[in-house]
Chains A and B, each alone.
Chain A
């Protein structure tokens, strides 16, 4: 299992399809006494660890729940500000669950359009003539593979760095898109894809790709 998610971006940079296939979500729950030995800050309406990594809690992790009750953005379930709540010694000991914050659909739209412009800049700054945009972006935890069709649609797959056979998968997704989204009479071009057959076929293509090319040598 090593394909994380699939994005389809239209030629204007809008996200028209997103599917999370496999989510590794490390969540850590821990009981703290006063004062808290982590530095928390508010970022994008979420409470994030800004300093003090310990016991699997990392910088960038968000507060997911307090005493087993899920938080609501930067507020507790009762509507108090989390930062204020944690300043009060009377509320201790407190059990807080940390984890990587989930991406909201707005954030996904933003990331898709961000990649759209990165793709264009990558081709503009090319030292060689006739370069495409970014085809593969590599980090230590994942690889992003992007395939742009002649009509400008981008298919993006995020996968484990060791996963093989992504190029074939991207072309397969293009085929599925042509067959099940474009041929669907209720689908209007450039709009979000809400076709059941597209979903089903994409899922089975991902399963096949994962079984075929997991952790093979090279990629």
Chain B
């Protein structure tokens, strides 16, 4: 089991943060384009699903699983893992509440709505993900 990568988007579609751990294939387009494509896909899925409460939670293909969590303020956390991981909702919620809120929202130097520059956040996030029970470098 492994974690591939993590995207954080704000409600306007700006990619606030991206980090990757065990990613084997790049999309073949620039990162900027990839963020737009990912956000566009999530936006379409949201309108495609069109239901109340939690709405869209995850999808999987033959090789990976995408977990999605959205806060009421529109911050969207997207994590790609392999298929063995069951439910990441709590993990994503924890990333939001213990990392994003603590190190970004409470940091007056971080401008909301722009890509996150905080080294503290990056290192905390990295160690948080590496400590997850399903983060286990299989082939890296």
> Which residues from chain A sit less than 8 Å from chain B, CB to CB?
58-60, 111, 114-115, 117-118, 121-142
Contact = CB atoms under 8 A, between A and B. Distances in A.
Contact of A118 (B41, B50, B57): B41
Q: Name the residue in B28, B55, B57, B62 with the highest tally of chain A Cβ atoms < 10 Å from its Cβ.
A: B62
Contacts of A132: 61-63
Nearest to A110: B48
Interface string B44-68: 1100111111111111111110100
Nearest to A111: B48
Nearest to A142: B51
Residue among A115, A117, A125, A141 with max Cβ neighbours from chain B (10 Å) = A125
A125 B23 CA distance: 11
Interface of B: 4-5, 20, 22-25, 27-28, 34, 37-38, 40-41, 44-45, 48-64, 66, 80, 82
Nearest to B25: A129
A9 to B, nearest CB: 13
Contacts of A128: 4, 24-25, 63-64, 82
B129 to A, nearest CB: 14
A74 to B, nearest CB: 19
A138 B24 contact: no
Contacts of B57: 138-140
A133 to B, nearest CB: 6
Main secondary structure of the interface of A (DSSP, over half): loop
Contacts of A130: 62-63
A124 B64 contact: no
A125 B64 CA distance: 10
B74 to A, nearest CB: 16
13 contacts: A60-B52, A114-B48, A115-B48, A118-B48, A123-B61, A125-B27, A125-B37, A126-B25, A126-B63, A131-B61, A134-B61, A138-B59, A141-B51
A59 B52 contact: yes
A138 B55 contact: no
Given A114-B44, A135-B60, 4 more contacts: A124-B37, A132-B62, A135-B62, A139-B56
Given A58-B52, A127-B20, A131-B64, A122 B25 contact: no
A111 B25 CA distance: 29
Given A127-B20, A128-B24, A132-B63, A139 B37 contact: no
Contacts of B52: 58-60, 141
Q: Which interface residue of A121, A127, A140 has the most chain B CB atoms within 10 A?
A: A127
Given A118-B41, A125-B38, A133 B64 contact: no
A125 to B, nearest CB: 6
A141 B49 CA distance: 10
